[in-house]
Structure 1
Amino acid sequence: MEKRLYSEALRLLKKYRKGDEMTEEAVKILKENNVKQVLCAFCDVRGYLQMFSIPAREFTDGSAFEGIGFDGSSVRGFKTIEQSDMVWVPDPSTIKIIPWIDDPVQKTAIMFGDCYEAWGTEVANCDPRGYVAKRLQKMLGDEGKTAIFGPEIEFFVFDSADPTRLTWDMWVSPNGGAGDSWGPPRVMPDSPEVTPGGFIIRPKEGYFRAPPEDTTVEYRNELVYYLEQLGVDVEYHHHEVATAGQVELDFKPKQLVDVGDAFYLYKFAAKNIAAMYGMVATFMPKPLYLDNASGMHTHQSLWKGEPFSGEALFADPDDEFMLSQTARYYIGGLLEHAKALTALCAPTVNSYKRLVPGFEAPIYICWSPRNRSALVRVPMYLKKPSAIRVEYRGADPSCNPYLAFAAMLAAGLDGIKKKIDPGDPLMKDVYELSPKEKKEFGVGELPTTLRDALDHLASDEVIQKVLGSHIFDAFMEIKIDEWNQYCLYITPWEFMKYLDI
């Protein structure tokens, strides 16, 4: 079965090489727009966007569509030095002109691709896009089904964020933020949220704020303009809850591979447009002490056939919540694998400073309609089958999207396969429940540290299978090393707390 999927993936990717219709269309786009350079994009196991540039003539007149060799040992989680030769094979269907570059000398396109073994013989088992996301999407398609994902990606825009010049922010409260405070927390990075007239957004009061307090509107408008030219259609955007320039732009849902590509186009555009404004866009989950963090709540649904034209498998018009039994089993799978999912969906040390009580983060394992204190929420906005979906709230924008979305889908499909009952929905504010009540309702808790999450991933065979042994081993090695580095580091907080002990 696995070999058949590899062969099919190889066949699908080879059709993109020079001579087919998509390649011809890509060549036409490059020539008509007088593109001089092509940014060739993929990601490492951690989820960091990787790029190199090839002159456009190598695609229009040369053999670049057949693949470009690179050193896989220099990419985190890919290859050891004795197996370092790899081939990047472009996916011409993804070619986009970078719209904010007008200079004819600098005219650039971006194109995603997949990473192959030496000689370009097969998709490499270290490639999150080609090996994990494409493989799972193909497997689902063979069953006549599709899955779509709509992530709500939050991030911060700062005037500057120099790690060597952060404002000391420890003494804002005598007890770590609970109870009475000695004053509002100061922003650690420099913030754009103080207007010339002196308006300021107070901590936790930024949601849907209007100008002039919201100073990010022009930046967001320009970002939307460019994202739409990149094929990422934004449905709406707004200031988020935190102060200091926290924003959110939501784009229309896409299938597994496409949503991963869109995630990177979103990040790439957000960072570059911020730089044009002299600012810094950061997707670090929790950059501010005692204020809300950035999450990536992910809406998802299954369809028989094509999304929005086929059958909505999550919808049942006769159900109280418009929710089918298939959707309930899918929720059961998400809850069953939630602790292991957290390692991939919240993969940094900093992620776990978001997953704490008091900042709207979903730390309790349960599901509910409408209820934002639950890990899995069923939105109740429009009462029609095409709008029915489930929202997994445990992810943040530091993740590798191909791995995180694929793992969520695998968990949900496992729930359907095994008919995992999620139990009754919890209709209460979970944050207000006592420990005894949470136990009575069977409410579990997500891991509280990256190390805890990795331990749960290490024992989850379903999630390991979708990753494959190479990516699982590489991810674990990278993240355990990251955790060990963090444990060895002596923080300023420790000097403040223990120097006079």
Structure 2
Amino acid sequence: MEEEVRKILEENGVKQVLCAFTDVRGYLMTFSIPAREFIEGNTFDGIGFDGSSIRGFKTIEQSDMVWMPDPKTLRVIPWENDPLQKSAIMFGDVYEAWAAEQADCDPRGYVAKRMEKQLKDKGLSVIFGPEIEFFLFEKIDPTRLYWDLWVSPNGGAGDSWGPPRVMPESRELEAGWYVIRPKEGYFRPPPEDTTVAYRNELVHYLEKLGIIVEYHHHEVATAGQVELDFKPMQLVDVSDAFYLYKFAAKNVAALHGMMAVFMPKPLYLDNASGMHVHQSLWEGEPFKGKNIFADPDDEFMLSQKARYYIGGLLEHAKALTALCAPTINSYKRLVPGFEAPIYICWSPRNRSALVRVPMYHRKPSAIRVEYRGADPSTNPYLSLAAMVAAGLDGIKKKIDPGDPIMEDVYELSESQKRELGIGELPTTLRDALDHLATDEVIQKVLGSHIFDAFMSIKIDEWNQYCLYITPWEIMKYLDI
């Protein structure tokens, strides 16, 4: 594999290699190594770096760490045409000093790879197909956000819509053409949808990075919200693809003077960006072995083990939310009225449920469950591994998910929801952290170091938020 890497670097004239990993929060970290160090040097033995400068990794007295490349992940960056700038990107795992052992602070190597190994030891595998949504903006000036000037006193209820001025004027507004109204953007064609050319270009580059896109479209929110879905992969590969997807989306946008924004809820009173996660459990390799979730004799083509897996997801949903929706802004998405899954229940076809069973094709290989409670601010190495742990716990304990909810949960009364045993996801990051703090199954998959580091980082984030005085508070309370 190392010889293949050297050959690719030489044949493509690559000058620099971006060495990639993530911190505990889920931010992509990179540093550059001249390609000649991979071609002629001993870089495959690992590169040292300062772990105390990475959030959630090490304290200063334990700061020496080693990044170990994963050669099979090498990708030449396809949009770089300047010979002086020609670069590649490669993921790696993080090791302790002397590269003696896998570091327990590394989301990819310690959490995701460990979960994959546990599955393999049982003769199992799992595949994921995330639907990653994001916004394409021309620019955002955080010092000039005008939303508070038009927010109505009743919090936006009724007909008090104003222009979504947190998003700068889009190209169609400048051209005097069409306006995609809030919550009316789904599947809009050009010229209303001005993101088609960008998406086509992004698909081209993603496929050169080995990420095969199945389809893409404008999403529900106003001008600029898009989604590109790629073919399912196993846990580590799909998490790597998640970061390549974001990396490509941001860089291709920057080439055109725009911004790809993965913040879950950037616009007030419009739909947010989620990440619905399709998943299925297999005996052996995916699409070669048996789909454990499929039962051709069942009404929904769903096996009993799939139901138990769903039971596990629902049982651990409140703790999962801390990892799947890990920002304060995530909880501005998890509210009624914007297609976000806030109710803990499951159902076939029904997008008001937290866990949905898609019913598109009656064939065993297509049967899967969709967990709708994640967003693109997540660290997938952690959250996807935690979903598997929750599902497997459901199978192990035979957790009954209850009857599927066949009605629109948003339309049920409070007494009806209580009668059906439908709970709600946490409403704030702090609430979710409290649930994570009591969930031993999810803590175990993270390991003690990442659990402690994640809790510390996020509680600090919550405390910072609680101290900040927002423009909304000034508008609401200045005249008390």
**Which interval holds the TM-score relative to the shorter structure?**
over 0.9
Matched-pair contact (CA < 8 Å) for 1:169–1:289 = no
Distance 2:281 2:215 in 1: 23
Q: Per the alignment, in what secondary structure is the counterpart of residue 205 of structure 2?
A: helix
Cα distance, 1:193 vs. partner?
A: 5.4
Which residue of the partner structure matches residue 236 of structure 1? 215
Superposed, which structure 2 residues align to 1:325-404 within 5 Å? Answer: 325-404=304-383
Cα offset, 1:171, TM superposition: 2.5
What's the CA shift string for 1:70-107, capped at 9, x where partnerless? Answer: 00000000000000000000000000000000111111
Residue 166 of structure 1: how far off its partner (Å): 1.9
For the residue of structure 1 that corresponds to 2:147, the secondary structure is coil
For residue 172 of structure 1, report the CA deviation from its aligned partner: 4.0
**Structure 1 residue runs of 4+, over 2 Å off?**
167-174, 183-187, 191-195
Residue 4 of structure 2 is aligned to residue 62 of structure 1: no
- More displaced stretch, 36-45 vs 23-32: 23-32
Question: Does structure 2 conserve the Cα–Cα contact (< 8 Å) formed by 1:160 and 1:280?
Answer: yes
Distance 1:468 1:28 in 2: 38
1:197 CA displacement: 4.0
Residues 318-360 of structure 1, C-alpha deviations (whole Å, 9 max, x = no match): 0000000010000000000000000000000000000000000
Matched, 1:414 2:393: yes
Give the equivalent residue in structure 1 for 2:132: 153
SS for the counterpart of 2:329 is helix
How far does residue 168 in structure 1 lie from its aligned partner after superposition?
3.2
| Matching residue within 189, 200, 205 for 2:167 | 189
Contact 2:130–2:275, Cα closer than 8 Å, also in 1? yes
Counterpart CA distance in 2 for 1:221 and 1:230 is 14
Please name the residue that 1:203 is paired with: 182
Alignment partner, residue 43 of structure 1: 22
How far does residue 189 in structure 1 lie from its aligned partner after superposition? 2.5
1:106 maps to which of 69, 85, 103:
85
* Whole-angstrom distance in 2 between the partners of 1:99 and 1:192: 27
Q: Which residue of 1 aligns with 2:266?
A: 287
Residue 480 of structure 1 is matched in structure 2 by 459
Say yes or no: does 1:254 pair with 2:241.
no
Q: CA deviation at 1:178?
A: 1.9
Note the aligned Cα RMSD (angstroms): 0.9
Q: With structure 2 as the length reference, what TM-score do the two structures score? A: 0.99
Name stretches of at least 5 consecutive residues in structure 2 with no aligned partner.
none
- Match for residue 406 of structure 2 among 404, 427, 430: 427
Partner of 1:6: none
Q: How much does 1:162 deviate?
A: 1.5
SS at 2:298 equivalent = coil
1:277 alignment counterpart: 256
| Structure 1 position 256, deviation (Å) | 0.4
Please say if 1:87 is aligned against 2:58.
no
Q: Percent identity?
A: 80
Deviation at 1:34, TM superposition (A): 1.2
Q: 1:178 aligns with which of 138, 153, 157?
A: 157
Q: CA offset at residue 161 of structure 1?
A: 1.0
- Say whether the 8 Å CA contact 1:294–1:396 is kept in structure 2: yes
Kept in 2, the 8 Å contact 1:155–1:284? The answer is yes
Counterpart of 2:468 in structure 1 is 489
Aligned equivalents of 1:105, 1:191: Cα separation in 2: 36
C-alpha deviation, 1:27, in angstroms:
1.0
Q: How far apart are 1:236 and its partner, in Å?
A: 0.3
Does the 8 Å contact 1:146/1:305 carry over to 2? Answer: yes
Distance in 1 between residues matched to 2:454 and 2:268, nearest whole Å: 28
Which secondary structure does the structure 2 equivalent of 1:203 belong to? Answer: coil
* 187-196 vs 323-332, greater mean Cα deviation: 187-196
- Long gaps (5+) in structure 1: 1-21
Cα distance, 1:170 vs structure 2: 4.5
Measure, in 2, the Cα distance between the counterparts of 1:410 and 1:189: 39
Is 1:34 equivalent to 2:34 in the alignment?
no
Structure 1 length as normaliser, TM-score?
0.95
* Structure 1: distance between partners of 2:170 and 2:233: 32
Equivalent residue letter for 1:482? E
Q: Distance in 1 between matches of 2:252 and 2:55?
A: 27
Verify the 8 A CA contact 1:173 1:180 in the aligned structure 2.
no
Alignment partners' CA distance in 2, 1:372 and 1:44: 32
Alignment-derived partner of residue 433 in structure 2: 454
Amino acid of the structure 1 residue aligned with 2:167:
P
SS at match of 1:82: helix
2: CA distance between counterparts of 1:413 and 1:342? 17
Confirm or deny: 8 A CA contact 2:93 2:106 kept in the other structure: yes
Q: Aligned partners of 2:272 and 2:245: how far apart in 1? A: 18
In the TM superposition, what whole-angstrom CA distance separates every residue of 1:192-232 from its partner, at most 9, and x where no partner exists?
25252421100000000000110100000000000000011
Alpha-carbon distance, 1:185 to partner? 3.7
Aligned residue-pair number: 479
Amino acid at match of 2:452: D
- 2:442 aligned with 1:463: yes
Q: Which residue of 108, 126, 148 corresponds with 1:129?
A: 108
Query: Measured at CA, do residues 193 and 448 of structure 1 come closer, stay the same or move farther in structure 2, by a change above 3 Å?
Result: farther
Residue 186 (structure 1) shift = 2.3
**Residue in structure 1 matched with residue 420 of structure 2 by the alignment:** 441
**What is the SS of the residue equivalent to 1:307?**
coil
Cα shift at 1:176: 1.4
- TM-superposed deviation, 1:374: 0.1
1:308-323, aligned counterparts within 5 Å? 308-323=287-302
Residues of 2 paired with 1:282 and 1:101: CA distance?
21
TM-superposition CA deviations, 1:39-62 (whole Å, max 9, x none): 000000000000000000000100
SS at match of 1:76: coil
2:95 alignment counterpart: 116
Answer whether contact 2:283 2:291 (CA < 8 A) is retained: yes
What do the CA deviations read for 1:345-390 (whole angstroms, capped 9, x no partner)? Answer: 0000000000000000000000000000000000000110000000
Aligned counterparts of 1:177 and 1:367: Cα–Cα separation in 2 = 30
Shift of the alpha carbon at 1:167?
2.5
Letter in 2 for 1:420: I
User: Is the 2:148–2:472 Cα contact (8 Å) retained in structure 1?
Assistant: no
